[in-house]
Amino acid sequence: MAGDLIVDGHGIDRRKLLLGGCAALAAPFVQARPGFAAEGGAPLPIPPILEADGAQPVTLTARAGSHSFVPGIKTPTLGYELDYLGPTLRVRRGRSARIDVVNRTDDEISAHWHGAFVPGNMDGGPQGAFAPGKTWSARFDVHHPAATLWYHSHVHGKTGTQVYHGLAGLLLVEDPAAPDGLPSDYGVNDLPLVVQDRSFDSSGRLVYDTSGMALMGGVLGNTICVNGAVRPVADVPRGLVRLRILNGSNARFYDFAFADGRQFHQVASDGGLLPAPVARTRLPLAPAERAEIVVDFSGDAAPVRLISSSVAQGGMMGGGMMGGGSGDRGTFDIMTFAPQATAGAGPASLPASLPAPPFDLGAPVRTREIRLDMHAGSMMGSMFRRLIGGGVMGINGKSYDMGRIDAQLKLGETELWRVSAPMMTHPFHVHGCSFQVVSRGGQAVDPATEGHKDVVAVDARGVEILVRVDQKADKATPFMFHCHILEHEDAGMMGQFTVA
């Protein structure tokens, strides 16, 4: 990996170690900036729907391709079925999903159904990686309530680069027994938005560099893409529009808002619907978090811009240099909505309540302490540990080991997990379940506004979550818990657990 310290076979020279470490730390600031300036404004691409719960299995082929982030330049990429990213898979609660994942890339891959309630052998985590030319047949009953989930490759040590190059897509769960009364015309007034930051070199190739600070804070791009288009424009009806937003970036935290400061309503979180719409003017999302919001464009004739504040990355460093910003140093553009002359055919108003899944996890039977470690109190300490054979990242002092089970959970039992992150903010993800956030920094949270989660941002103050897993996972195919800054996950900030 670029930026690794090199030591000869005659032992470690302290002076060389310190000089090498300083050079590695400086690398992101002295290397040439990417020379490719991507202009935005193309129409928003809408990923095709792939119905994955029919009598016949659908095929999801991972393959190399080339994608035009801007006209006239082909960028080498990866995708599932598509040149970049993948189709929107749609499944229905109470039915069975049948998906054959084919590997036509040059490396091992997997397909992790992020957020889905599936058994460990269907989860698609690191233990489920499979080689080029092979096919993995995923078959699982859909127990999850209506939600916006996603899928991505999850090969240990390679998740960051594979997702960065395109191995990801949305997974929508519908519940025919619980209509929500929200806009539902996919691609018209119900828009999927996969928000990612990417960087390009002078020839238009994606730049993925984990040297120096990029390893510690995660890889940040300088260009915003939505569904694979640079700061696109979406035509929308003059009415209520539902936006299903996924923070699909490797490491960037967003704080979404509209440039005119307008109010919108959040209707769903990671794991499903909220009990009722919640009025907001800002929407912070950590990597891998999702939210569904409804925006009223009924009175708009002029374009409306979705922006994000430049968030201090993980509480550790700046938000990164962004191209094509709004002109305000504190914000940058995500995309633009162009209301059309005709009104939409969807609902004219929001329902007062929503068919949210209940908060009935029960009282916890045990408590676990989970600490997300950078392994040292300084950058140099982390690099030194890596140099002598340890992982840079870890959980409770241990870097990820595929052969080690870190926790054994009982099927259907509720646990209280106290999660802390002493050095910087990390998005913490648990496989196989949705959890309930109980408190942040010792302050109780309202589950009605927090919703069911599978990713939560954890800072030095810590969070408490209630975890109950109702799917089995054995030692051969355990579930994961990890930081969802993908470079941290790849560097060892991950553990695994069984459920029996």
Helix then strand count (H, E) for the chain reads 6, 32
| CA 500/CA 493 separation, integer angstroms | 24
Q: Which CA distances in Å does 401 have to 155, 215, 218?
A: 13, 19, 21
**Residue 173 vs residue 54, higher pLDDT:** 173
| CA 24/CA 33 separation, integer angstroms | 16
Picking from 127, 139, 234, 147, the residue whose alpha carbon sits closest to that of residue 191 is 234
CA angle 463, 467, 471 (to 5 degrees): 150
| CA 228/CA 102 separation, integer angstroms | 22
**Residue 23 vs residue 57, higher pLDDT:** 57
- Residue 156: pLDDT band (50, 70, 90) is very high
What is the reported pTM?
0.90
- Residue 181: pLDDT band (50, 70, 90) is very high
Share of the chain above pLDDT 70, in %: 86
CA angle 441, 294, 115 (to 5 degrees): 55
The residues, ordered by sequence, that sit 6+ positions from 10 with a Cβ below 8 Å of its Cβ are none
Q: Is 43 left (phi over 0), alpha (psi -120 to 50) or beta?
A: beta
Mean per-residue pLDDT, 297-320: 77
Give the sign of the dihedral formed by CA 397, CA 401, CA 403, CA 409: positive
Range with the poorest average pLDDT among 1-10, 214-223, 453-462:
1-10
Range with the poorest average pLDDT among 15-24, 323-332, 480-489:
15-24
Q: What is the pLDDT of residues 359-371, one digit of tens each?
A: 889 999 999 999 9
- CA-CA-CA-CA dihedral for 437, 442, 446, 447, to nearest 10: 10
The third-level CATH classification (topology) of the domain covering 366-499 is Immunoglobulin-like (2.60.40)
| Parts of the chain belonging to CATH 2.60.40.420 | 49-174, 190-343, 366-499
* Residues 258 and 336: beta-carbon distance below 8 Å: no
Instruction: Kindly report the CATH class assigned to 49-174.
Output: mainly beta
Picking from 408, 415, 45, 411, the residue whose alpha carbon sits closest to that of residue 194 is 45
Residue 102, amino acid:
V
If one looks up domain 190-343 in CATH, what number appears? Answer: 2.60.40.420
Picking from 134, 16, 74, 408, the residue whose alpha carbon sits closest to that of residue 6 is 16
Q: What is the pLDDT of residues 208-266, one digit of tens each?
A: 998 877 888 999 999 999 999 999 999 999 999 999 999 999 999 999 999 999 999 99
The per-residue DSSP string of 348-378 comes to: SS--SS--PPP------SEEEEEEEE-SSSS
Report strand pairing: 414-420 vs 366-373.
Answer: parallel
Mean per-residue pLDDT, 75-80: 98
**Residue 381 vs residue 111, higher pLDDT:** 111
In the sheet that holds 223-226, the strands lie side by side as 229-230, 223-226, 190-198, 240-247, 290-296, 264-269, 272-280
